[in-house]
Structures are given as C-alpha cells and as structure tokens.
Amino acid sequence: MTARTGDIEKAAEALRAGGLVAFPTETVYGLGANAEDPAAVARVFQVKGRPPSHPLIVHIGGAEHLGDWVEDVPPMARLLAEHFWPGPLTLVLRRGRRVPFEATGGLETVAVRVPGHPVALALLSAFSGGVAAPSANRFGSVSPTTANHVRAELGDAVDFVLDGGPCEVGVESTIVDATGEIPSVLRPGGVTREDLEAVLGCPLAVHSTSHVRVPGQHPSHYAPRARVILVEPEKVVAEAELAQELGRQVGVLLPPSYADAPVQAHAVVAVPGSMVAYARGLYAFLRELDQRGCDLIVASLPVEEGLGLAIANRLRRAAGPRLSE
C-alpha cells in the first residue's frame, strides 16, 4: 500500500463532492464515483466512453453492508460473500432502492463486490458509502494494472488517482449471477470456478459472454490497439514469423513451452508458466506490445482451467468475435 492517509481522505472528499477517483483493487484499477450520485455516475460513463446501458459494479467496504445495497441475499450468495470477500468476486443480486438506475444501466439487478486491496478498503471506509466503478480504462481497451496506466489513459479526466502499486491478481473479478437458486458465472475472473464449486458443493454453469448486453455490437473488449490473433501454441512462432516477413510489426506472447525458441518478430514477451503470474502480467504485456509499436499480436490460449479460464476469456475477447466466438 503506497497511498498515504492524507491521500485517502482527499480521495474520499473528492467522491463526496461528486468527483471521480481512480483507485487500486487487487484485480485492476477502478474509476470510482459515489454510487448514489447519478450525475457523478454519469461522468464515469462519459470519461470511459462507455454506453450507458452497460452496468457498473458497486464496491462496498464489507460483506456486512451487502443488505444495504440489494433487495434480497439468497443463502448461496451469502455463502459466497462470506467465503470470498474481500476478494475478486462480484455478485449480481436484486437491486436495492438506494442504487440508482444510472449505475445498473436500467437493470433491476446490481453487481456488488468487496475489493481485497488495503487502499480500496481504506477509501471505502473513509467514504463510508458505495463506490460505483468500472475498470479505469477507455471502453473496450485493456484494463489498467498500475496507477501509471490510468494516468496515461485517462489523464486529467480523473479528479484523483490513488496509487496502490501494481495489482496482484491482474484480471478482473469473477462475476456470479446469484439471483437464481443455482448461481452461474457471467464472467470468469480472479476467483476460479473450481474454488466456487468447492464452496458451493455443486457444479456451476459458465456463460462467459452473457454479461455483454448487446452481443455483436462491440467487436472486441480488453483489446490493445494491435490486432490480436489466436493460434495453436505450436503455430505461434511460425505465424508470427510469416506475418513479420509480410511486413507487419509483430508482437508475440510466447507460450511457456516455447520460451527458448528464437523468434524473428518485432517484440517478444515470454509468457510465465504459472497462471497466477500470467494473469498478473497479461494486461501489462499487451500494453507493452502496443507501446513498442506492434500492429499485430500473435498468442495462444492457455489451458482453460483455474485462472487459465479467465486469461483465455480475455484473449478471446481481445481478438474479437470474428476469430473466436
């Protein structure tokens, strides 16, 4: 935790005044506004360039406050909240009356989570309200995992940036629809499906694209400027070299089993073998390849279990629907 107490108080004051505060969470940096202030929430959408129908997550300071923000907490939701909060899990539940429709994109449900980062928790405690926050990037692009990523992308549009160092988890929270009897996963993320199933004692359905409210309208998400193509791991080097020969500036996310292979490409990032380390670095790798001037990124999908499921989901979305969905 690098933010100072004075900074936390200034940030809480900015939220009270209707301002926007970028803050660290364990997953990615968020762009926060007072969840109960419709005008402040509207500014979040404006700064991100995000369609107003695309709902935000309300961040709260502890599981004990959940009942203040939602209409009903089914037993399974209670169990998940108690087990995984603070942490990278978001629960979709029936909207409580204090949550304005501006935050839910007009839905009668609301997404809520307790972030597991000391700076986020200190901010929520100092503010003592709910903070509606999407990831602090422009709509559709790569989420920020450092305060510098936020400053580079949003600059003066944000009233205050709290620096809490690089994010530990690196991919967004797992979103679970807990409105029904049996919960289902709407977006894989930092809490693995296996961990959720172990706590619930039953298998979970994964609808990893259903949280996109208008399928097909947004061609890609979590996307760098460079086009991303996904190929089998054993084809990454050959595809990259071919495209480079054809005049593209190729960036490579080199799978761990090929880490020592020489590659003729513009820029190469050797992907860590540990899924925890890969998730932590994924967005920084994509930003780095953009920054180094790549116009094409060749990557392969990791095995889709544990955190590999979230990484594969982000790479597919970054590549866009044409190639992957």
Single out the segment in contact with ligand TXA by CB under 6 A; choices: 3-11, 105-113, 263-271, 281-289: 105-113
The letter for the amino acid at 7 is D
Contact track, ligand TXA, 12-31, x by CB under 6 A: -------------x-xx-x-
Cα 215 to Cα 191, 219, 221, 323: the distances in Å are 25, 9, 12, 15
Among 47, 81, 110, 142, the residue binding ligand TXA under the rule CB under 6 A is 110
CA nearest to 319, candidates 200, 209, 221: 221
How far lies 89's CA from each of 111, 141, 257, 293, in Å? 10, 21, 31, 34
CB of 260 to ligand TXA, least distance (A): 34
Total binding residues toward ligand TXA, as defined by CB under 6 A? 25
Of ligand TXA, Mg ion, none, which one does residue 313 interact with (CB within 5 to 8 Å by kind)?
none
Q: Of the candidates 146, 173, 300, 313, which one interacts with ligand TXA according to CB under 6 A?
A: 173
Please tell me the chain's helix, strand, coil percentages from 3-state DSSP, rounded to the nearest 5.
40, 20, 45
Query: In the complex, what is the shortest distance from the CB of residue 28 to Mg ion, in angstroms, rounded to a whole number?
Result: 7
**One residue of 135, 145, 208, 300 binding ligand TXA per CB under 6 A:** 135
- Residue 54 beta carbon to ligand TXA: minimum distance, rounded to whole angstroms: 5
Q: Helix (H, G, I), strand (E, B), or coil: what is residue 149?
A: helix
Task: Convert 146-174 to b/e letters by CB count within 10 Å (16 or more is b).
Answer: bbebbbebbeeebbbbbbbeebbbbbbbb
- Residue pair 84/200 in contact by the 8 Å Cβ criterion: no
Asked if 94 is part of the footprint of ligand TXA (rule: CB under 6 A), the reply reads no
Q: Name the region of 286 (left: φ>0; alpha: ψ -120 to 50; beta: rest).
A: alpha
> Which of 234/325 has CB closer to Mg ion?
325
Of the pair 30, 130, the CB lying nearest ligand TXA is at 30
Q: Which residues bind Mg ion (CB under 5 A)?
A: 135
Asked if 175 is part of the footprint of ligand TXA (rule: CB under 6 A), the reply reads: yes
Which positions from 185 through 204 interact with ligand TXA, judged by CB under 6 A?
Answer: 186
> Based on CB atoms, which residue is closest to Mg ion, 44 or 289?
44
Contact 316, 302 (CB under 8 A): no
Q: Which residues bind ligand TXA (CB under 6 A)?
A: 25, 27-28, 30, 54-57, 88, 90, 92, 104, 107, 109-111, 115, 133-135, 172-173, 175, 186, 211
